[in-house]
Structure 1
Amino acid sequence: MTRCATALALCLGLLSQQLAAQDMSAPASLEELIPDSAVEDPEGWAQQGDQPDLPSPDDGPVPELEADSPMEAMPLLTIEAPEDLQLPDPDPVEADEPVEFATFEDVIPPLPEGSGERISDELVLVFPTERSLFPERDEFLDRFKALSTIEGLDDDGSQARLSAQARADEELLQRMLRTYGYFDGQVIRSVVSPEDRPDADYESSIARFDIIPGNRFTIGTVDLGNLSQTGTDYDDLRAAYEVFPGDPLSLDAITDERYDLDTALGESGYPFAAIDDPELLVDHARAEGDVTMPVTPGGKYVFGNVTSNLDDFLSGRHLARIARFDPGDTYKRSDEMDLRRAILATGLVGSVSLTPVEVEAPSEGQPGTVDMEVEMTKAPLRTVAGSIGYGTEEGIRIAGSWEHRNLFPPEGLFRVRGIAGTREQLLGATFRKNNFRGRDRILTLDAFASTLDYEAYDARTASLVGTYERVSTLLFQKPLSWSVGLELVATGEREADADGVFGPRQTYLIAALPLYAQIDTSDDLLDPTRGFRVSGRVSPEISRSDSSETVYVRNQADFSYYQQMSDSLVLAGRARFSSIPGASVEDIAPSRRIYAGGGGSVRGYGYREIGPRNSEGDPTGGLSAVEFSLEARIRTGMLDGTLGVVPFVDAGSVGDDALPDFRSIKFGAGIGLRYHSGFGPIRLDVAFPLNPGPNDAAVAVYVALGQAF
């Protein structure tokens, strides 16, 4: 419409020049065709488009022009074409150099021979047959299976759905190739139905991906910002970031090694170090990637003091005592985190945060100093606990306790406890001071009065026991544990005679010095899978009764070994040897003798039911014992791998002499279930005596937390 309007405007402009000298009043026929407004403003009139006043074909025939009209005077122009027109032939143009055209093979090389990996009924990946062309194949496959859209969603048999998922998996494969450094790799996607390939072994539609990895890119330059400002620490810190020019390019390594460098900075005295996210610039022409990761070390420091926001509750002095660092030691982030765990392990705080605070800046090549500022919130300090249980050998047992875990700050616990049961009654009070005079050292004073009522003897006992120890806890398993103590006991005991009648009560005054040590190389306190434990107990004792004095030594040695045979099988074995040299059985109070049997001893027999017996068949205890246990701990994979099965066999014997007696050894066997919870295995064992005596039950059941040993 615009070009037509412009041409019409041009014609009207010429007409306006011819009619300029004429009177503006024109014949009606001409006025109808060209109004005066068109003559005055031809362009504006032409831009209005079709005017309602102009005639249209629907209005009938166009009126003829009069003879004296200027339009009638314009002649037609006719140009005749020449009859014999011949053009000369152009001269041929010769090329300066011959032109060579690339063949198809030069542009796209032939695909390497591939081998397929059938992942599922509708998913196949094809890799180069030559493994050296893509050595990351196995890891790549495992990773893809975990992320694949086709693998992750249900198969409903829809080819449209499969095609959509295949497009998503194609993008995933491209990203994964780049992750491993194959930036020129190709992924060829095809979705094939059985109708498309009747010769193939396809029962349903299948998505196929041909992986052409190409050449793997390498690391170009590595820019770590201001890391060189660490001076003499630079070489060790640079070695921690194991990404070097010429290495195969891996996005995983670039990211993961950042954390290794961060750890190295934190362990080398740089509490304020900062590392920005790494960036990669890929140059396809060089087939290299340049890494830039700005590092700001922030200065080197040593530890200063430890401060506390609750000084009357847990003072800074006490927290410094349980820290594994001293003022002047090079700052280590692991020491900071260890102190945080140790504070939480007290059970006295609900939350804790540690912040390094600069008190002296580095200067003249010397490190600065940071104090560790500890912010804590108190946890509930009082606990009331209770339990009720029943055992075939022990009857009903009800236990309860009340405690305040910081009644005597810092970490001074006071507990009152009691037991009411068929066989045992007890009332006692305990004072315990955690982290006393050192990390993980515990001072305990325990005073209690108890009664024990068994078929073979009963005892009325008052005891005062003090120990100073360093033992493993659930948070801090220690390779070396030890304990020293002092035990004062006053007990009145009586034994049953051959007819089961109790004789007169005999009073014993006992002083003992119990000592304990253990070496533990196992990998877990409650559920070990490898390593060993060796422990020994020695308790020299003096016993005075009826104006006679007896000196003897109670000894016990334990050895256990754990061997992991596979991911689902652990073999475990245990041996125990006990002995009391220096006295006869009659000179030792019945409660201080050696017994065997029960869930922590020989399963299948009652608690303390193995050993010499009187004529009524009640155990009387002995001077020595040997015990052996062997079990296979099998993870079944059931309940998401939390359920385990443990077949076991135990053996044990108690003798009247100080040397172990193997003549009357008892055997027990059974099977157990283990539910592996987040805090340790819960144990249920069902055991049977293999050579029971007349007083032994046919089956015994044990429930506890943790493995049997």
Structure 2
Amino acid sequence: MPTDLARHALASCLAAIAIAGVQPLAAQDADAPPSLEDLIPDSAVSDPEAWAQQGTDAPTEIAVEDTASDLRAETAVSEIPGMSVAWPEDVVFEPLEPLEPETDIVFADLLADVPQIAFDEADLEELSDTLVLGFPQKEPPFSERGDFIDRFEALSTIEELDDGDENVAQLAARARKDEELLRTLLRVYGYYDGEIVRTIATRDAGEEAADQRPRVRFDVIPGPRYTYGAIALGDLAAAPDAGDLRDAFEIRPGDYLQSDDILAERFDLDRALGETGYAFAEIDNPELLIDHERVEGDLTMPVRPNGKYVFGEVVSSDEAFLSSRHLASIARFDAGDVYQRSLAFDLRRAVTATGLVSTVGVEAREVSPPQGDEPGVVAMDVTLERAKLRTIAGAIGYGSEEGVRIQASWEHRNFFPPEGALRLRGILGTREQLAGVTFRKNNFGGRDKVLTVDAYASSIDTTAYDARTVALTGTYERTSTLLFQKPLAWGIGAEVLATDERNRIVDGVARPRQTYFVASLFGRATIDTSDSLLDPTRGFRVTGFLAPETSRTEGEQYYYLRNRVDGAFYQSVGARTVIAARGAFASIQGADLVGIAPSRRLYAGGGGSVRGYGYQAIGPKNEFMEPTGGRSLVEASLEARIGTGFFDGAVSVVPFFDLGSVSTSTTPDFAEIKMGAGIGLRYATGFGPIRFDVGIPLNPEPEDSAVGVYISLGQAF
């Protein structure tokens, strides 16, 4: 039994081997070879190990006739076994002649557009301790590399990490975002086949392994830069001045592609349409189709000019409040002028600046369409809602030179429509009392032209004089405002007043009072090239004032000419510093000092003059050391407005130096020059800087204070 089992097992193994390499026969016949079990000898079954060690018989050699050795080149075909075709003896092969090279064949340079990359020679830009940009592409050069780096540095999430707080996990997460940012920026500049290779590694920050810190490197391979292919601008060619409009869109086929340029040029084209009469022009969003095979992008931006127009009439929605005629007078266009969108927007700003409306809208409305070469006409519809027109205001303050001061006013801004304001005001203080009424007509006779009539009675006691005055003043001026700063502003006016004045009482000694009746005509003009009324950083200002006056006092009539010139210059130095300089000259020609009321003489000192000294404290003095005023004045100031990083750059430090001299003669004699210096702070707000200055007199008199403090809105000059 065991012998049969062994035989059967061995047969199974051999059968498996046979299956692997031999195909079985179909069926056995009488001549069929013995079965696999019959071929296994009994000795292999009884003692398999001994049988396996016997080895195998030598292989039987099979004789194969070597016919290949008889096949020679010179053997005739008829002698080759199995071939009966005779070799043709008359066939002769001509020798092959070498081919001449074709000189006119141009082979394509398959590597012409392939960027040349050299990682080991990459230009590196180390943006921080944890972030490095590599630029391994040598050809073609990355032409926008500088701006590309600046943009990436401003938007990078890795750059937001505080130095020393980063770890590998944080960097890995942010590196993925920065990698996508880099790809986006490449596409912005027209590199649509660009590649970014990101590497995060550690660098030695010390000898210990614990001090090793992670670092991210991005290798930027921009590849070829795409250009603009076809550019389709819709119906722009149908516009009457299509050539000029097309020139406003400064993108041409073949220019390098950059998505920023598309947006900028779309804005320029829209502005050109709006400024040349196309009141209803429309521009659809641009679409860019990238063709990677051509390395180009086709731009489509449908434009519909929709006809050219001129201005018609201005129509108010509230005739009783702000009439159409008044609105037309403050517009910077006349009927028949070519429509300009900026002038329509300017009209809206002018109506807002009146302070009489809470909301305002200005819309173009078609009156007649274009006909052939004739433009259409649009009316400007002004819709407005009235604002609250009455205002009550008040202020309470204290100053070392003024004492306690309470001020109050009531105003109706449209008491006499349109834009006729009535204002009542009063001041109650330890050194000043005043009651006055003012009529003001804005935009009277034209844009930003103001007529003002002011009547008041006041009593004022300053360091220099004590005056009780009744006055009536009228002015007509072209003003420069925060909304509409103008290169030229002017004003003319007249004034009549009666004033009873005397020098101050000192140590109980009272000087006699003297009454003056004064009439004056005056004019002033300002040339202003500065960039701001309250906080200029560049440019200059020059203001001239001229006032012929007559004064009657003590039975005598005096005639004289008051004049003054003020100039200021501003220059930025670096990113945060402004150097500001100021000079002033004034004189009174034609009358002795006694014929000029003390309140109309010249004085220096104070926050807008020579800081460190009191208001009107500089000048000739009498035996009681009171300023008596003079007939000529010279002032100069120099300060540096240095920005800081405090409060997001809102705070500035301002060292300053001032000097001034007042003389009794009509020309300065510089007998005494007072100087002051100090330092100030400026805090920038949305409506201008708040000023805080501390000044020290450098050559004070015994009666001068040791320090002067000045707080106001706006710069000193």
| Shared fold (TM-score, shorter chain, > 0.5) | yes
Describe how 1:615-694 pairs up with structure 2 within 5 A. Answer: 615-694=623-702
Q: Tell me how far 1:236 sits from its aligned partner.
A: 1.4
Determine helix, strand or coil for the equivalent of 2:262. Answer: helix
Determine helix, strand or coil for the equivalent of 1:614. Answer: coil
Structure 2 counterpart of 1:270, which letter?
A: Y
Choose from 176, 188, 195 the match for 1:167: 176
Counterpart residue number, 2:422? 414
Contact 1:500 1:616 in 2 (8 A): no
User: 1:455–1:268: structure 2 CA closer, same or farther, 3 Å change rule?
Assistant: closer
Determine helix, strand or coil for the equivalent of 1:205. Answer: strand
Q: Tell me how far 1:256 sits from its aligned partner.
A: 1.6
User: 1:201–1:274: structure 2 CA closer, same or farther, 3 Å change rule?
Assistant: farther
Contact 1:498 1:615 in 2 (8 A): no
Q: Tell me how far 1:129 sits from its aligned partner.
A: 6.6
Calculate the TM-score normalised by the size of structure 1: 0.83
* Cα deviation 1:314-342 (Å, max 9, x = unaligned): 11111110000000000001101111111
User: 1:169–1:79: structure 2 CA closer, same or farther, 3 Å change rule?
Assistant: farther
* Cα deviation 1:391-431 (Å, max 9, x = unaligned): 21221111111111111111111110011111111000000
Q: Tell me how far 1:158 sits from its aligned partner.
A: 4.2
Aligned residues: 611
Q: Tell me how far 1:375 sits from its aligned partner.
A: 1.1
Q: Tell me how far 1:587 sits from its aligned partner.
A: 1.0
Counterpart residue number, 2:233? 224
Counterpart residue number, 1:372? 380
Q: Confirm or deny that 1:325 pairs with 2:333.
A: yes
Distance in 2, matches of 1:156 and 1:663, equals 66
Structure 2 counterpart of 1:190, which letter?
A: T
Structure 2 counterpart of 1:273, which letter?
A: A
Structure 1 counterpart of 2:225, which letter?
A: R
Counterpart residue number, 2:264? 256
Distance in 2, matches of 1:157 and 1:528, equals 43
Distance in 1, matches of 2:435 and 2:451, equals 20
Q: Tell me how far 1:628 sits from its aligned partner.
A: 0.6
Q: Confirm or deny that 1:212 pairs with 2:160.
A: no
User: 1:286–1:590: structure 2 CA closer, same or farther, 3 Å change rule?
Assistant: same
Q: Confirm or deny that 1:571 pairs with 2:579.
A: yes
Contact 1:597 1:608 in 2 (8 A): yes
Contact 2:192 2:225 in 1 (8 A): yes
Q: Confirm or deny that 1:128 pairs with 2:136.
A: yes
Counterpart residue number, 1:310? 318
Contact 1:194 1:200 in 2 (8 A): no
Contact 1:435 1:441 in 2 (8 A): yes
Unaligned runs of 5+ in 1: 1-76, 84-102
Counterpart residue number, 2:188? 179
Determine helix, strand or coil for the equivalent of 1:405. Answer: strand
Describe how 1:541-620 pairs up with structure 2 within 5 A. Answer: 541-620=549-628
Q: Tell me how far 1:529 sits from its aligned partner.
A: 1.1
Contact 2:310 2:337 in 1 (8 A): yes
Counterpart residue number, 1:344? 352
Determine helix, strand or coil for the equivalent of 2:401. Answer: coil
Contact 2:279 2:339 in 1 (8 A): yes
Determine helix, strand or coil for the equivalent of 1:319. Answer: helix
Q: Confirm or deny that 1:79 pairs with 2:79.
A: no
Determine helix, strand or coil for the equivalent of 1:580. Answer: strand
Determine helix, strand or coil for the equivalent of 2:415. Answer: coil
Distance in 2, matches of 1:105 and 1:545, equals 97
Structure 2 counterpart of 1:219, which letter?
A: Y
User: 1:215–1:202: structure 2 CA closer, same or farther, 3 Å change rule?
Assistant: farther
Q: Tell me how far 1:364 sits from its aligned partner.
A: 1.5
Counterpart residue number, 1:444? 452
Determine helix, strand or coil for the equivalent of 1:539. Answer: strand
User: 1:123–1:376: structure 2 CA closer, same or farther, 3 Å change rule?
Assistant: same
Contact 1:193 1:202 in 2 (8 A): no
Structure 1 counterpart of 2:238, which letter?
A: Q
Structure 2 counterpart of 1:218, which letter?
A: T
Structure 1 counterpart of 2:125, which letter?
A: E
Q: Tell me how far 1:592 sits from its aligned partner.
A: 1.1
Structure 1 counterpart of 2:182, which letter?
A: L
Choose from 184, 188, 193 the match for 2:197: 188
Q: Tell me how far 1:161 sits from its aligned partner.
A: 3.7
Distance in 1, matches of 2:483 and 2:178, equals 44
Superposition RMSD in Å: 2.5
Distance in 1, matches of 2:346 and 2:260, equals 29
Determine helix, strand or coil for the equivalent of 2:343. Answer: helix
Q: Tell me how far 1:111 sits from its aligned partner.
A: 4.1
User: 1:164–1:513: structure 2 CA closer, same or farther, 3 Å change rule?
Assistant: same
Distance in 1, matches of 2:681 and 2:139, equals 45
User: 1:362–1:199: structure 2 CA closer, same or farther, 3 Å change rule?
Assistant: farther
Give aligned-pair identity as a percent: 58
Counterpart residue number, 2:366? 358
Structure 2 counterpart of 1:165, which letter?
A: R
Structure 2 counterpart of 1:300, which letter?
A: K
Distance in 1, matches of 2:701 and 2:365, equals 70
Q: Confirm or deny that 1:289 pairs with 2:301.
A: no
Q: Tell me how far 1:270 sits from its aligned partner.
A: 0.6
Structure 1 counterpart of 2:400, which letter?
A: T
Q: Tell me how far 1:156 sits from its aligned partner.
A: 5.2
Calculate the TM-score normalised by the size of structure 2: 0.82
Q: Tell me how far 1:106 sits from its aligned partner.
A: 12
Q: Tell me how far 1:116 sits from its aligned partner.
A: 2.1
Distance in 1, matches of 2:27 and 2:349, equals 106
Structure 1 counterpart of 2:382, which letter?
A: V
Q: Tell me how far 1:286 sits from its aligned partner.
A: 1.2
User: 1:205–1:382: structure 2 CA closer, same or farther, 3 Å change rule?
Assistant: same
* Cα deviation 1:603-638 (Å, max 9, x = unaligned): 110000000111111111111111111111111122
Q: Tell me how far 1:109 sits from its aligned partner.
A: 6.8
Q: Tell me how far 1:500 sits from its aligned partner.
A: 6.1
Determine helix, strand or coil for the equivalent of 2:589. Answer: coil
Contact 2:115 2:140 in 1 (8 A): no
Q: Confirm or deny that 1:300 pairs with 2:308.
A: yes
User: 1:592–1:80: structure 2 CA closer, same or farther, 3 Å change rule?
Assistant: farther
Structure 2 counterpart of 1:463, which letter?
A: A
Counterpart residue number, 2:536? 528
* Cα deviation 1:463-486 (Å, max 9, x = unaligned): 000000012111111100100001
Distance in 2, matches of 1:180 and 1:200, equals 41
Contact 1:625 1:661 in 2 (8 A): no
* Cα deviation 1:262-312 (Å, max 9, x = unaligned): 011100111111101111111111111111000000110000011111111
Which segment is superposed worse, 116-125 or 435-444? 116-125
* Cα deviation 1:623-671 (Å, max 9, x = unaligned): 1111111111111122111110111110001111111121111000011
User: 1:499–1:204: structure 2 CA closer, same or farther, 3 Å change rule?
Assistant: closer
Q: Tell me how far 1:676 sits from its aligned partner.
A: 1.0
Q: Tell me how far 1:148 sits from its aligned partner.
A: 2.1
Distance in 1, matches of 2:512 and 2:166, equals 87
Contact 2:405 2:430 in 1 (8 A): yes
* Cα deviation 1:122-146 (Å, max 9, x = unaligned): 3222113749611211211111122
* Cα deviation 1:560-605 (Å, max 9, x = unaligned): 1111121111111111111011111111111111111100111110
Structure 2 counterpart of 1:606, which letter?
A: G
Contact 2:495 2:520 in 1 (8 A): yes
Structure 2 counterpart of 1:280, which letter?
A: L
User: 1:341–1:109: structure 2 CA closer, same or farther, 3 Å change rule?
Assistant: closer
